[in-house]
Structure 1
């Protein structure tokens, strides 16, 4: 394994001391720099020449990536990339172009210059907009990487009211970012929602709202021809079972949530007004048609 391979496996960055422990002496390091295989970012810091590397920047500034900047290291769900570099370090200093989160309080990442998962999530909860931090926490908690109870225990006091409010929105299971966001929007609208409901003949649906309206949130895989046909057949079976059906996609849930909720409310109102038959009325209609 050469120095480039070693750096690649460590996220593209390492200090001189780490290279020496891995068996790469000063001569080997200087040779790799001269040949252009690695670059010297700052004194004692080396990396792979691949554009702007946040990990390399964190080491250069003597800190650890955290908050949104650290999300890729833990494969956390996100809604957008970090516009600025979020770091935490033992001796915080206001630096232009950096978003400083103070001193790390939990064990760091095992080998990357990244704050520990607990710090990353807590920093995100206190820094990012509500839904952006929610999806990060949901992905970590849902995988079992960290417990919700632990995050609550680190979020006591009046100053952490916003943090606890977001933690209250975490659900036991979410299969996608879209489910997390849609659930929060439906809850805010005061709707009675059940998630991952098994409907005979249909299978599991994402949401059952007010016990009559099936709502599915579809990601990119649902655009495949086989998936489209499967979804349409599930729609048909849901309707034959007496349920109404609405489907929403990434653009709807992320960029137009108010329109999505308005449509759901409109369909429920139409049903309340008798436009769509329900319950025993639907069964009587079916018998007459038969």
Structure 2
């Protein structure tokens, strides 16, 4: 058992207790002490360690909210510019910015057991912190991915947030739709819902259309909106299938709009304008 590999598997930084739990001996710890830094008593840190993990361990905290998104595979388009750390203690946090020269966002309150070996908050705490902290356009997709990938039930969080009178966080939670299958779809849905409500129409994510199959969005029963990823049209077979779907949609009386994720991210106003034009054009005929 290579002590350096064990340390690397823990993000490159760990307390002695975590290393012993991973199977290392006291002799192995002595070996690590000669080969890696010891920024604090009982803490071992490789040069290439996870800096957010280091910040958490140095201050008896855990990584949470946006900083924990990659650990749980959650959808988050833009990595946070600061470390999001969670803790229950009341110690001063004015030195947290000194770790790796990056500032920290401190989240008070951890209600669930943290990860068994990493300085990582429980998924439930990560989501609660995200709902209270992140902008709606970031929090909603992140929570939607937790529902889809980890089977998290939003009803539990709704009761919790309602009891704590967290109005904005509760509204964000209620905007989560587990039917979306990707980050661009989740972001597109946040743009489509207000427009559809304004026009008195329904938006159905991952709708099944007879003769066409499943589409990303069906609005008003006639407008299909597809968000095509980078891997789309990877071979001739997919091109032929796509052409057939488009032809079937036209023959069935549907209108189809297709977009790449970059349009949703960089030109949201254009996206909404296009969809509005397609919807109002059909509705006013």
Query: So what's the TM-score if we normalise by structure 1?
Result: 0.86
- Residue 2 of structure 1 corresponds to 2
The residue that corresponds to 2:207 in the other structure is: 197
Which residue does 1:98 correspond to in 2?
104
Q: Which residue of 2 aligns with 1:11?
A: 11
What does residue 278 of structure 1 align with?
Answer: none
Specify the alignment match of 1:58 in structure 2.
56
Q: Quick one: which of 195, 220, 244 aligns to 1:233?
A: 244
User: 2:184, 2:265 → 1: CA distance?
Assistant: 7
Q: Following TM superposition, by how much is the alpha carbon of 1:145 offset from its aligned partner in structure 2, in angstroms? A: 3.5
Correspondence for 1:215: 225
Residue correspondence of structure 1 range 179-190 to structure 2 within 5 A: 179-189=185-195, 190=197
In our comparison, the structure showing a higher alpha carbon Rg is 1
For residues 240-261 of structure 1, the C-alpha deviation after alignment (integer angstroms, 9 at most, x for no partner) is 2211110111111122222111
Distance 1:111 1:240 in 2: 57
Q: RMSD across aligned C-alpha pairs, in angstroms?
A: 2.1
The two structures have a TM-score, normalised by structure 2, of: 0.87
8 Å contact from structure 1 (residues 182, 253) kept in 2: yes
Number of equivalent positions: 272
User: For 1:211 and 1:22, how far apart are their aligned partners in 2?
Assistant: 55
5 Å-filtered alignment, 1:1-290, equals 1-34=1-34, 36=35, 38-50=36-48, 52-92=50-90, 93-95=92-94, 96=97, 97-157=103-163, 159-189=165-195, 190=197, 191-226=201-236, 227-274=238-285
Segments of structure 2 that go 5 or more residues without pairing to the other structure are 98-102
Q: Which moved more, 1:81-90 or 1:19-28?
A: 19-28
CA pair 47-184 structure 1, distance change in 2 beyond 3 A? same
- Deviation, 1:157, is 4.5
- Structure 1 residue runs of 5 or longer lacking an equivalent are 275-290
* Greater RCO (CA < 8 Å, at least 6 residues apart): 2
Residue 33 of structure 1: CA displacement?
A: 4.4
